[in-house]
């Protein structure tokens, strides 16, 4: 369905017991109703229902913390699988608006969180040195190389 190489070993997923330890251990699933890594494995790998998953905003709730695979009885690389799904969705432009805003902020400022006058004052109070200005042109080049050129140009 895509030339993108899989970032996980598909054969490992055929060992999935559907025991749900991954979902039960997942911090995102605890707070976001409907987020369910076990179900995504079932649908994508075992049932082949890929289209619906690639359109879902839910997949972007994974923080890639890897607790799921640490607890999985087979050590299955669930976060690698979810990162792959996010990459495929991004290739199709299926990105939530908040993620797009974050990409543009990184492209413009080199940071994922804006530095404000408050940030500057607090750093001074704590005796921390001033933040250096990142090379945003280099960052934009990296984002373009990562295939995000179209998204950087979108307004």
| Nearest residue to 44 (alpha-carbon basis) of 74, 79, 13 | 13
- Residue pair 103/152 in contact by the 8 Å Cβ criterion: yes
Q: Hey, which residues between 91 and 150 contact ligand SF4 (CB under 6 A)?
A: none
Nearer to ligand SF4, 79 or 88 (CB): 79
Return d(Cα 10, Cα 81) in angstroms, integer.
Answer: 9
In the chain, which ranges are continuous DSSP H helix?
Answer: 10-13, 21-25, 27-31, 37-41, 50-54, 67-71, 78-91, 97-109, 117-125, 136-143, 149-153
Span near ligand SF4 by CB under 6 A; candidates 72-80, 89-97, 135-143, 145-153? 72-80
Nearer to ligand SF4, 28 or 107 (CB): 28
Residue 4 sits in the site that holds ligand SF4 (CB under 6 A): no
Span near ligand SF4 by CB under 6 A; candidates 3-11, 36-44, 95-103, 117-125? 36-44
The footprint of ligand SF4 (CB under 6 A) covers: 16-22, 26-28, 37-38, 41, 62-68, 72-74, 76, 78-79, 82
């Amino acid at each position: 369905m895509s030339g993108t190489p899989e970032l996980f070993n598909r054969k490992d997923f055929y060992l999935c017991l559907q025991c749900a330890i991954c979902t039960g251990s997942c911090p995102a699933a605890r707070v976001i109703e409907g987020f369910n890594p076990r179900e995504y494995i079932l649908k994508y790998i075992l049932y082949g229902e890929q289209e619906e998953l690639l359109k879902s905003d839910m997949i972007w709730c994974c923080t890639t913390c890897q607790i799921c695979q640490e607890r999985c009885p087979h050590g299955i690389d669930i976060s690698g699988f979810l990162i792959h799904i996010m990459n495929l969705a991004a290739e199709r432009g299926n990105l939530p608006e908040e993620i797009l805003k974050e990409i543009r902020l990184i492209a413009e400022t080199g940071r994922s969180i804006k530095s404000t006058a408050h940030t500057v004052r607090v750093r001074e109070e704590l005796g921390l040195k001033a933040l250096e200005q990142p090379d945003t042109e280099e960052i934009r080049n990296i984002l373009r190389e990562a295939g995000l050129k179209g998204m950087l140009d979108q307004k």
